[in-house]
Structure 1
Amino acid sequence: MIPRRIVPNLVAGLASALLLGACGSSTGAAPAAPASSAPAPPATPATSAASTPATGSPDTTTSVTARTLSGVGIVVTDERGLALYRYDKDQPSPSKWTCSGVCTKTWIPVIVQGPVQTSGVEKSLLGTVHRNGRTQLTLAGWPLYRYVGDTAAGQVNGQGKDGAWYAVTPAGKKSSAAG
């Protein structure tokens, strides 16, 4: 009677081992890093503006660039060409964010995980503020956000929303041009 139990259990064990072994290897490549490993290094300046950040998270930024966008003039964009905004109810000195909860579903905080590359933006004006265990990028002390309504590079659909949201200039000022 014992051999009848051993054979099915042995077959099940071997099948499990083979399946687990197949999951852990593919074409002889090195195994993937565990999820808790350090984040990928920031993108290089040569990275395309339309590419996804190295971390793969849509709210993580690796570079900021000053660009001329129709209707608002020269403003700051992320590596995907999306306009960055500041909120008049936030405080620049010391940096303090006030947009939270439901607000962050419309106005997505710009999160960073390492150094940020710049082009046309004075690096000394960049800073960060801690936000719920994450690090939000600031410019001239103003916490930065993306607008959920901007779905493509160059859009500034959030300009002037609620009389408090404005595309941010490379100096950290709000763009006074109409969106």
Structure 2
Amino acid sequence: MIPRRIGPSLALALASAFLLGACGSSDDSGTGTAAPTAPAAPVTSATPDPAVSTPAAGTSPAAGQPATTAAVLTRAAQGLGSIVTDDKGLTLYRYDKDEPNPSKWTCSGACTKTWLPVIVPESVQTSGVEKSLLGTVHRNGETQLTLAGWPLYRYVGDTAAGQTNGEGKDGQWYAVTPAGQKSTVTG
């Protein structure tokens, strides 16, 4: 009789050991190999999202995105006249290949490593820019700011306030004016 009891008892003991082992396997040292729980990096698409522009009040941007803009300001740039910047004084640009009506972005993939889409929070403050010209376009689940329908970007080559290093790049990137037009060289 004793051998019959050993089989079920052994199975129960192994199952208990397995369950206890699973409960006590947390790694408090922070050096475990578990996948990180932080939100993923921005997702970009090789094809543009033909979303329609909406008023500048959308969803909050995902964590880990390029810097968000809380304000859009107008300032004078030497040789360019009045242009639009973010709240840190970084120049905002528009791309000639994008489309304003309805807003459609075409810069994706590797392009967004050089030209950072301006991802915005729910509300945007303005100074010198007509608020009715501001809008947004949905970009892979995020909200990109538009001006007069044109999606807006920052240039990675602008590392300090007031720089306009992206002006005229590839004959398609231009600092944007308060009216949403591309900037032009002034005398």
Shorter chain as denominator, the TM-score bin is 0.5 to 0.7
Matched, 1:119 2:127: yes
% identical equivalent positions: 74
TM superposition shift of 1:57: 5.5
Output one character per residue of 1:79-116: Cα deviation in whole Å (capped at 9) or x when no partner: 00000000000000000000000000000000012110
1:59 deviates by 2.3
Bigger mean CA deviation after superposition, 125-134 or 58-67: 58-67
The answer on 1:129 being equivalent to 2:137 is: yes
Give runs of aligned pairs for residues 17-96 of structure 1, distance below 5 A: 58-96=66-104
Which among 171, 175, 180 is matched to residue 167 of structure 1?
A: 175
Structure 1 residue 70 displacement after superposition: 1.6
Q: CA deviation at 1:170?
A: 0.1
In angstroms, what is the RMSD of aligned CA positions? 2.1
Deviation per CA, 1:101-141, whole angstroms, max 9, x where unpaired? Answer: 00000000000121100000000000000001100000000
Contact in 1 for aligned 2:144/2:151 (Cα 8 Å): yes
CA distance in 1, matches of 2:175, 2:157: 13
The answer (yes or no) to whether the contact 2:94–2:150 under 8 Å persists in 1 is: yes
Between Structure 1 and Structure 2, whose CA radius of gyration is higher?
A: 2
Runs of at least 5 residues in structure 2 that lack an aligned partner in the other structure? 1-23, 30-37, 40-62
| TM-score calculated relative to the size of structure 2 | 0.65
Where in structure 1 do 4 or more consecutive aligned residues deviate above 2 Å? Answer: 55-59
Higher relative contact order at CA 8 Å, sep ≥6: structure 1 or structure 2? 2
Instruction: Quote how far apart the aligned CAs of 1:62 are.
Output: 0.6
